[in-house]
Amino acid sequence: MSVAPLQAAHPVPYGQLVPVTVHFDDLDALGMLHNSRYPLLAERAWGEYWHGQGFGFDGDWAAAGDMCNVIKEMRVSYERPVTRPGHYAAHLWVERLGRTGLTYGFRLCSADGTETYAQGHRVLVRVDAQTLRPTPWSDRARAIAAELLRPADSDGGTGTEADAA
């Protein structure tokens, strides 16, 4: 299944808004989205985005190509709680695209992109399925990732530009 990027009333200045859903069972005992769900929602949105671009994983790492990657680092900053189930969005972008590494940024936000609940980044390293050593991204993956590059003069994903829109 592929999810089309959202057409927000206040479009984000870079990257893509991908719809995500918070379910009742994602909430903790205090009625807030559990802290572990924020990065999970971002990860699912990235999976949907790449799947929509024709990338996928069917269980064969040797054939996975660019989908064969590992996490080097992850950071999440929780800005305000999500307190109810419903439709939200993940604002996704690429912060840095290297030869074997990729840093992507994300915000979990309102469906229209105007309110930020959490933000962060994750560093991925593309690895060879046999050696598990870093290996370059394909030209196709690099071209798609380049379309999501955050402009150097943006706010770094804090949401202030989208919040001000």
Average pLDDT over residues 129-154: 94
Query: pLDDT by residue (tens digit) across 10-42?
Result: 578 999 999 999 999 999 999 999 999 999 999
pLDDT at 3 over 60: no
Residue whose C-alpha is closest to residue 50's, from 104, 103, 118, 2:
2
pLDDT number for residue 102: 96
Q: Taking CA 69 as the corner, what is the angle to CA 65 and CA 74, rounded to the nearest 5 degrees?
A: 155
**Is the pTM for the entire model greater than 0.95?**
no
Residue whose C-alpha is closest to residue 52's, from 99, 119, 1:
1
pLDDT at 64 over 70: yes
pLDDT at 153 over 90: no
Among 55-64, 106-115, 142-151, which is the least confidently predicted range?
Answer: 55-64
pLDDT number for residue 103: 98
Q: For residue 3, which phi and psi values (nearest 5 degrees)? A: -110, 130
Give the C-alpha separation, 124 to 127, whole Å.
9
Bridge partners (DSSP) of residue 126 are 69
pLDDT number for residue 155: 64
pLDDT at 162 over 70: no
- pLDDT band, very low/low/confident/very high, at 71 (cuts 50, 70, 90): very high
Query: pLDDT by residue (tens digit) across 123-137?
Result: 999 999 999 999 999
Say if strands 16-22 and 116-126 run parallel, antiparallel, or are unpaired: unpaired
Both tokens of 152, joined, read: 């150097």
> Between residues 1 and 96, which one has the greater pLDDT?
96
Both tokens of 118, joined, read: 């959490």
Residue whose C-alpha is closest to residue 134's, from 99, 161, 163:
99
Average pLDDT over residues 95-115: 97
